[in-house]
Amino acid sequence: MNKVAVIFWSGTGNTEAMAAAVADGAKAAGAEAALLTCAEVNDISAYDAVALGCPAMGAEELEESEFLPMLEGIEPALPGKKVALFGSYGWGDGEWMRTWEARCAEKGIALAAASVTANEAPDDDALAACRALGAALTK
């Protein structure tokens, strides 16, 4: 069975709600999905696909105390896997996600689906997009 890791950081629950929807979408499409916080990530070699979720923090940056160190640890293992990004933002225009996508390209990480962003709490459309992202990672 296809194994999907959904790894997220969330301060106030918005990206966490998106992560749960990504995992639901992957399971509904027939995959085995693991919903993991940064601290729960160790060896990702067991997974065929990885969905990564982090809100816009700092000044259009990824969260730097837990998410970024975890990301730096797993990035060398991501090229060749199915990878997709998601996360919530507030007052910005999504710049953090564009910067994150460029970072993936620099590291040879091809994205398997369009990134999903939500302004603050994900609405029904954003949750549906998250479920579709999870499903896309199972193919």
Ligand X SMILES: Cc1cc2nc3c(=O)[nH]c(=O)nc-3n(C[C@H](O)[C@H](O)[C@H](O)COP(=O)(O)O)c2cc1C
Residue among 94, 96, 103 nearest 126 (CA): 94
Q: Is 21 in the site for ligand X (CB under 6 A)?
A: no
Distance of closest approach, residue 86 Cβ to ligand X, in angstroms: 10
Report the residue from 85, 89, 116, 126 that binds ligand X according to the rule CB under 6 A. 89
Q: Is 99 in the site for ligand X (CB under 6 A)?
A: no
Contact region with ligand X (CB under 6 A), list: 37-45, 69-77, 89-97, 99-107: 89-97
Cβ proximity to ligand X: between 14 and 115 the closer is 14
- Give the span between the Cα atoms of 77 and 23, in whole angstroms: 21
How many residues make contact with ligand X (CB under 6 A)?
19
Report the residue from 12, 79, 125, 139 that binds ligand X according to the rule CB under 6 A. 12
Distance of closest approach, residue 8 Cβ to ligand X, in angstroms: 8
Cα-based angle 27, 29, 32 (whole degrees, multiple of 5)? 35
- For the residues of 55-98, what is the DSSP string, one character each? --BTTTB--TTTHHHHHHHHGGG-TTSEEEEEEEESSS-SHHHH
Backbone angles phi, psi at 10, to 5 degrees: -150, 125
Name 85's bridge partners: 52
Binding footprint of ligand X on the chain (CB under 6 A): 10-16, 55-60, 88-92, 120
